Structure 1
Amino acid sequence: MQQKTNLRKEEQAQKLKEFIARFSANASKSKQATSRKKLLEKIVIDEIKPSSRKYPFIKFDLNRTPGKQILNVKNLTYINENNDILFENVSFSLKSGDKMVIIGNDDIAKTRFLEILIGKRKPASGTVEWGITITPNYFPSNNQEYFNESQSIIDW
C-alpha cells in the first residue's frame, strides 16, 4: 500500500518537473511554473524500510513436545456419496520422528483421507487415534474460505 502511494507521488513529481522545465522560461506561464515548483517541494516520498527478514519462512511452534505415539490409524475406509469406495482398510502407525507421504492419482480421495484424519469428516469404518500431545491441523489446497478475496495478497 505504501509502495502504491509512493509510486503515485513519484509520478506526480515527475509531471511537475516536466512542466517546470518546459515553462519556467516562458513569461506567460512562469507564475504557474513557480506555483508548481512549490507544490513539488511539498511532495514527500516516504522511505520504505527493507524487511529485516532475508529469507521468509513458515515456523510452526510446538505447544508441547510430541510424545512417542503420533498417529494410529486402523482399517480406515471411506465411501463417498455415490457409494464409490475411495480407500479401504488403510492402517498405519506414526511414531515420533516418522515421516509420511500421501501419493495417489485421486485428489478427492487424498483430501477426504486428510479430512478424516483431522476429524472434519467421518469414515465409513475404522479408527483414527492421535497421540495425547498432538493437535492435528490441516491447510487445504482449496483455501478460499480462509481469505478475503476482495483483498490483494499485498493488502492482506
Structure 2
Amino acid sequence: MSLRRGGLMSYNQRRIARWYFGGLASSMAAMVTHPIDLIKVLIQTQAEKLSVFQTTRKIVKEQGPLAMYNGISASMLRQYTYTLARFGIYSVGSGAMDTSTMAGKTCLAAIAGGIGGFVGAPADLINVRLQNDVKLPPEKRRNYKHAIDGLVRITREDDGKISSMAPR
C-alpha cells in the first residue's frame, strides 16, 4: 500500500487516467486481426465468390504469406487516430461533464465515438485502398507505399477531398 502524508491512499487516489493505453492495446489487437479484416474486405469486393479459406489460400499462393498484412500501416494509423481520439475525448470529457448517470456516459461516448469516426475515416479509406490495390490492373493501382504516403497523395490527387472507396 502507498502512503500519503502518513495515511493510506485509496485505490481511486492512486489511479491515473492512461487513456493512451487503449490506443496501444487496439494497435496490438489490429496486428492480430488485420489478416481477418483483409480477407473480409477482399470477399466483399471480389467479383468471384470464394469462401474465407479459398480467399486466404489464393492470397498466400499468389502473393505469399506476408500479403496477409497488406495495408497494415493504414490499419495501425486508424487505431492511432480513431481509438486514441475516442479514449482521449472521453477522458477529457468525463472531467468536463457529468458522467455519474448512464445518460451522461452514453452521451459522452456518442460524442467521442462520432468525433473518433470522423478522425479515423481517412485511415479507413487508405486501409481499403491498400488492401484492394493488388486486385486492380497495374495501370489503375495507386501503389501507396504506406498510410502516410496515401494521406499525402489523397490530399494532392483528390483535391483534398476524400472520394469514394471504389477503385478508379
Which structure has greater helix proportion?
Answer: 2
Q: If the length of structure 1 is used for normalisation, what is the TM-score?
A: 0.20
Which structure has greater strand proportion?
Answer: 1
Q: If the length of structure 2 is used for normalisation, what is the TM-score?
A: 0.19
The structure whose Rg is larger is: 1
